[in-house]
Amino acid sequence: MYLFSNVLGVFVFDEKFKVEDEILFKDLEEYNNKEKFIDKLLNKHKNLKEPDETAIKNILNYFKNKEFLGNFYDKNLQLAKLNVKNSVNNDNFIAQSVNFIGDIDKSINILVKRLREWYDLYNPEYSRSIQSHELFVQEILANEKHELLKKLGIDENGSIGANLSEKDLQPIKNIAHQIQDLYNLRKSQLDYISSLMDKSCPNIKAVCDVMIGSKLIEHAGSLKRLSEMPSSTIQILGAEKALFRHMKTGAKPPRHGIIVGHPLIAQSAEMMHGKIARALADKISIAAKVDFFHGQFIGDKLRKALEEKFINKN
């Protein structure tokens, strides 16, 4: 006799493919716990076996009867809805969050450019003396013009900036406040991603930091897909256009993609980028596999090995 189960229940078929015994599922909860029903029939009927390919075809013919059609449709529709609902996980949250940070960065860049051009009319000396956009916004909100000029050793009367009224300054300050709020939103979103990675991929976070790790997961599609990729693919993930250009025109192949922002690469000499990228991608590949299969935390050891190999040696 054959033991067979589907979304409708667990069935025992005899050698002529007639139902000898059955346990029908009342709902999807019973389907999800079908193992206990299978065990019940295994204990009740001895010498049950798994159907082979030929037996499967004959068993499936039994369910072609119209009496099963409506029930099959309803149960499979419920199962599909449940699977879609349960498919949402930390990978989705990480991908959405890192894309949101990208949108915030674009908005900040546009608004800061406008803010600097506008503020240049009032205090060009200070605006051009500071490179950090975030620090620039903080300083102009916290200090008056004469205080900022004093830091540069310039007398307010010596400034070439126009003397604007409070009415004309208010729109500038409003933009600065909005940009500051965006920076705060970005930080909170980054903290949220960090907490997600602590749960699902702490090793990746330890090896390549929050932003690079989350971008790799987003670009790969999921932690599972990232864990299945060879290190050579991880190394150029995000540089697909350059890779295809190389394949099509023979142009120089890319040495790295998303991981170019890693401190070990960014702070190293140009001639060392390829070597560091290969080693870094190898460690990320190991970290992704350990995270996906819920292994022990080894991210700190992987990161330390990279730093000992390359820091102060390039």
- Enumerate residues 6+ apart whose C-beta is below 8 A from 313: none
- Enumerate residues 6+ apart whose C-beta is below 8 A from 219: 237, 238, 258
Spell 34-66 as b/e; 16+ CB within 10 A means b. Answer: beebbeebeeeeeebeebeeebeeebeeeeeee
Question: Within this chain, do residues 75 and 114 fall inside the same structural domain, yes or no?
Answer: no
Question: Within this chain, do residues 63 and 119 fall inside the same structural domain, yes or no?
Answer: no
Question: In the predicted model, is pLDDT for residue 266 greater than 90?
Answer: no
Question: Model-level pTM greater than 0.85?
Answer: no
Contact 10, 34 (CB under 8 A): yes
- Enumerate residues 6+ apart whose C-beta is below 8 A from 88: none
Question: Within this chain, do residues 168 and 222 fall inside the same structural domain, yes or no?
Answer: no
Question: Within this chain, do residues 110 and 61 fall inside the same structural domain, yes or no?
Answer: no
The residue from 193, 209, 240 where one domain ends is: 193
Least-confidence region, from 138-152, 170-184, 242-256: 242-256
Question: Within this chain, do residues 77 and 103 fall inside the same structural domain, yes or no?
Answer: no
pLDDT of residue 71: 84
Nearest 5°: phi and psi at 24? -85, 140
pLDDT of residue 229: 94
Question: Within this chain, do residues 120 and 68 fall inside the same structural domain, yes or no?
Answer: no
pLDDT of residue 312: 57
Confidence of residue 242 (pLDDT cuts 50, 70, 90): confident
Supply 99's token pair: 């894309």
CATH number, domain containing residue 175: 1.10.287.4070
Q: Which amino acid is at 239?
A: A
pLDDT of residue 171: 95
Chain mean position to CA 69:
40
Give the Å distances, CA to CA, from 198 to 185, 195, 299, 301.
Answer: 20, 5, 11, 16
pLDDT of residue 313: 55
Question: Within this chain, do residues 206 and 293 fall inside the same structural domain, yes or no?
Answer: yes
pLDDT of residue 180: 97
Helices (H), the chain: 28-32, 34-44, 53-62, 66-86, 90-120, 124-127, 133-142, 145-151, 166-200, 202-208, 210-220, 223-228, 231-235, 240-249, 263-266, 273-292, 299-310
Share of the chain above pLDDT 90, in %: 54
Chain mean position to CA 257:
16
Quick one: average pLDDT of 228-247? 89
Domain count, the chain: 3
Contact 276, 180 (CB under 8 A): no
- Name beta bridge partners: 13: 2, 19
Quick one: average pLDDT of 168-180? 96
- Name beta bridge partners: 12: 3, 21
- Could you read off the pLDDT of 100-142 as tens digits, one per residue? 999 999 999 999 999 999 999 999 999 889 999 999 999 999 9
Question: Within this chain, do residues 222 and 235 fall inside the same structural domain, yes or no?
Answer: yes
Signed CA dihedral, 153, 155, 161, 166: sign only:
positive
The residue from 53, 86, 119 where one domain ends is: 86
Give the structural domain span for 18. Answer: 2-86
Average pLDDT of the chain to the nearest whole number: 90
pLDDT of residue 268: 86
pLDDT of residue 27: 84
Confidence of residue 311 (pLDDT cuts 50, 70, 90): confident
**Residue in 91, 53, 83, 42 with CA at minimum distance from that of residue 201:** 91
17-25 LR contacts (CB < 8 Å, sep 24+): 17/55, 17/58, 17/59, 17/61, 17/62, 19/62, 20/45, 21/45, 25/75
* Widest pairwise Cα distance in the chain: 103
Supply 104's token pair: 């915030």
The residue from 67, 86, 105 where one domain ends is: 86
Rounded Cα–Cα distance for residues 100 and 190 (Å): 10
Question: Within this chain, do residues 13 and 56 fall inside the same structural domain, yes or no?
Answer: yes
pLDDT of residue 169: 94
pLDDT of residue 186: 96
Question: Within this chain, do residues 232 and 300 fall inside the same structural domain, yes or no?
Answer: yes
- Could you read off the pLDDT of 187-210 as tens digits, one per residue? 999 999 999 999 999 999 999 999
Question: Within this chain, do residues 130 and 61 fall inside the same structural domain, yes or no?
Answer: no
Question: Within this chain, do residues 102 and 56 fall inside the same structural domain, yes or no?
Answer: no
